[in-house]
Amino acid sequence: PGIAFGLDAPYSVEYHDRIASTNERARDLAGQGATDIAVIADEQTGSRGRLDREWVAPSGGVWLSVLTRPDVPTARAPLFTLAAAVATTDAAREAGVGAHIKWPNDVLVGGGDGESAGRGGRKLAGILTEMEGEADRVDWLVVGPGVNANIDPDTLPEGATSLSAECGTPVDRRRFAATLLERFAELTGSPEGLDRILPAWRERSSTIGRRVRVDTANGSVEGTAVDIAGPGALVVETREGRQRVHAGDCEHLRD
Ligand code: BT5
């Protein structure tokens, strides 16, 4: 039913017209021992971003969470968030929207020279990853990309955009979700796929090479973003030398 009708995906698909949060539902399924399930909803009534922020998710979106149990140490889990950002970017580009990735997990449109550098563009999608496991092995992993698909940006927070607004016409959400899931499975389903994530992310990133300020739990780091390292840390060249930032909110600054 809904956007999931006839969806050809490398996961079993559970569809909801309306649900509190697809991530929450996927976590419940994890608790029941399930795996390899994509939960998709048209509308969410209690969805969250990172750090428990509110995520606005009206009808017309692609609100998605993928539950897997990859055989990797928990330190590699951030790679799966990067893979979801790559997959979302590729699905958007296939729909004709020139999206790019802002570290760590925002998929943006625009924001190049001449436009407000500010946050680095209009936000099309964000990703919330949650997991449980021991240091040496992930038990379950839920990766939740939320994509503003066919939504009027006036109903979204300031600075947001949608596929339909960028295209000027509604997009085929089923095809978009199929491409996203296909790409995500390709990148995360094998060791060779995992090795391709960082290079693919670098190619699609608008953060590398930019001046940035990253607000972290231990203060802010300002400098030039020079690379992504390890399983997802941003390498920033600062006046005091190179620093690796593992988590935080990143702002692109004017050069
Ligand atoms: C994120 O958090 O960007 C991760 C969002 C993940 C949402 C998906 S939807 C499917 C799955 N199920 C869930 O319950 N969650 C996931 P963060 O980087 O913390 O950004 C949150 C901020 O983005 C908010 O504080 C707002 O400023 C802004 N925001 C909220 N809703 C938005 C929207 N629809 N589009 C663009 N920006 C939004």
Which segments of the chain belong to CATH 3.30.930.10?
2-204
**Per-residue pLDDT tens for 105-156?**
899 999 865 454 456 799 999 999 999 999 899 999 999 999 999 999 999 9
**Per-residue pLDDT tens for 3-23?**
887 888 899 999 999 999 999
**Per-residue pLDDT tens for 69-103?**
999 999 999 999 999 999 999 999 999 999 999 99
Q: ipTM greater than 0.95, yes or no?
A: yes
Query: Mean pLDDT throughout 206-226?
Result: 95
Are residues 17 and 54 in contact, defined by beta-carbon separation less than 8 angstroms?
no
Atom number of ligand 1 nearest to Cα 160: 36
pTM higher than the cut 0.90: yes
Q: Give me the CATH code for the 211-252 domain, please.
A: 2.30.30.100
When computed from its CA atoms, the radius of gyration of the chain, rounded to whole angstroms, is: 17
Ligand 1, from 45, 51, 55: best to mutate by most atoms within 8 Å of Cβ? 55
Q: Which two tokens stand for residue 6?
A: 């006839």
DSSP string of 20-31?
S-HHHHHHHHHH
- The residues facing 141 across adjacent strands are 68, 131
Report CA(158)–ligand 1 centroid distance (Å): 12
Q: How does 201-229 read in b/e, with b if 16+ C-beta sit within 10 Å?
A: beebbbbbebbbebeeeeeebebbbebbe
Backbone angles phi, psi at 71, to 5 degrees: -90, 70
Cβ of 64 closer than 6 Å to ligand 1, yes or no, is: yes
Report CA(21)–ligand 1 centroid distance (Å): 11
Which segments of the chain belong to CATH 2.30.30.100?
211-252
CA distances (Å), origin 158, targets 105, 153, 155, 163, 177 = 18, 8, 9, 16, 25
Cβ of 22 closer than 6 Å to ligand 1, yes or no, is: yes
Q: What dihedral do alpha carbons 119, 120, 124, 127 form, nearest 10°?
A: -70
Nearest CA owner, ligand 1 atom 8: 146
Cβ of 19 closer than 6 Å to ligand 1, yes or no, is: no
DSSP string of 159-203?
TB--HHHHHTS---HHHHHHHHHHHHHHHHSSHHHHHHHHHHHHH
| Chosen CATH of 2-204 out of 3.30.930.10, 3.90.1150.10, 3.20.20.80, 3.40.1410.10 | 3.30.930.10
Cβ of 152 closer than 6 Å to ligand 1, yes or no, is: no
- Collapsing DSSP states into helix, strand and coil, what is residue 240? coil
